[in-house]
Every structure is written in structure tokens, then in C-alpha cells.
Amino acid sequence: MTDMRFALGMSSGMKDYEAEASTKKAELFSKLLSSLPASPSIVEVGMGSFPNSKFYHPSSSSNLDIIGVDPNDSMKGYAMSNANDAGLTKNGNSVRIVHGVSEALPFDDNSVDACVVTLTFCSVLDPEASIAEIKRILKPNGKFLFWEHVLSQTDTNMANFQNVMTLTQVKVADGCHLNRKTGETISNAGFKKVDLDYFELKTFSYLNPTVAGIATK
């Protein structure tokens, strides 16, 4: 699948998923933003078409500096359109997007207040290296918000199905693995604190099992 076709598909094909996830995501982003200093720098890794734009709510006293990182340059137009619609490019807020991969983030050590990663670790080449990079660029006490579909922890039949289907999914969905244990990977990455929840959405079959939370460096 070409980058352009994948960008188009992701910009329109995940709307039902995002609608179901919206309430929990909004709560998680609200928790993140309330914990950050004034005018924080936030790196969103694997920004894609920026479906998370609606969850960033800047206040008049705390403008947001959001930097998206994505290896697919065809996502940029969709991402900036969503950023504009969410009011994230005016009133002192800023959004910019850079080309990059999660295993080699183009930022200095201890340089950003928060990192956001949603539905991205399923398709990165090296989840452990990616999480280590996030930890590297975060300032001390920096926050890492994550939301990922994972291997089922409650349903053996579903887990078996995810294992069987992963090879096909990788081929048709830009490297997406259905059977990763991202919660364990984050928990074992050496963060000072990891607040993590496992839950299951209702209507998306092998994408239902989810881990989400906030880790503190």
C-alpha cells in the first residue's frame, strides 16, 4: 500500500473507532494536560492524520506547542486540516510536523514536557527502542500518554485469532501487528510511574483489546 493511499484510508476509515474511543480518550488527555506546566511542548509520535486534535484543549494562559512526528509525509495535509479545525494553530498555539521514525526521534535529550502515542506501537519496527527514545527526550517528570490495541488478556480464542491474523494484517495495514504486548513493554521500560488500564472496546473485533494510560519519567 502506498503512503498516499494509507493516509487517505486512515483519515477516513477509522472514524467509527475514534467515535467509540472518544470518551475514554478525552478523559486521558484531560488528565495529561492538567498535569503539564504552562505552555508545554508536546511531541505526538505517529501523529498520522491527527485524530487526537479534538482532545487538546489549550487555555488562554497555557498555549500548546505540538510537534508531530510521522514517517508518512502524505499524512501532513490531513493532520494540519484537523489541527486548524480544532483551533490549534491560532491564539498562541502552534502545530508543526516533522518527518521521522519512533526509533530515532529528532529531539534533544530531556527537551519536551510530554509525548503522546496512540495506535502506533503496533506498527513500529522496534517497540522497545521507540519507548526508550520517548523516555530519552522527555524532561524529568515528563509525561507519556499512550493508547494501543494489544493481544487480548481475557479471551484465549481472540488471542489465538490475533496471532493467526497478524501476518496478514502486517501486509495489508502498513506493518500493524495484532498481537503485541505493549502494556508489558511500557511497564518494563524503567519509568518512575506507570498508570495503565486494560479494557476492551465493543465493536472492532481484534482491535478491541486496549491498553491506555500515562507514564511518568
CA distance 9 to 11: 6
**CA 41 to CA 66: how far, in whole Å?**
6
Q: Mind listing the pLDDT tens digit for each residue in 123-175?
A: 999 999 999 999 999 999 999 999 999 999 999 999 999 999 999 999 988 89
Q: For residue 91, is pLDDT > 60?
A: yes
Domain ranges of the chain: 3-216
Mean of pLDDT values over 179-203: 97
pLDDT of amino acid 184: 98
Note the Cα 97 to chain centre separation in Å: 14
Q: What is the CATH number of domain 3-216?
A: 3.40.50.150
Listing DSSP states for 108-124 in one string gives: -TT-EEEEEEES-TTT-
Calpha distance 160→139 (Å, rounded): 39
Which helix (H) or strand (E) is 134 found in, with range?
A: helix 127-137
**pLDDT class for 33, splitting at 50, 70, 90?**
very high
- In this prediction, residue 62 carries a pLDDT of 73
Residue reference for cell 521507540? 130
Instruction: Tell whether the model's pLDDT for residue 115 goes beyond 70.
Output: yes
The pLDDT assigned to 118 comes to: 98
Helix extents (H) in 61-155:
76-85, 127-137
Average pLDDT, the chain: 92
- Mean pLDDT to the nearest integer, 170-188: 95
Query: In this structure, what DSSP letter does residue 39 have?
Result: S
**What is the per-residue pLDDT for 7?**
43
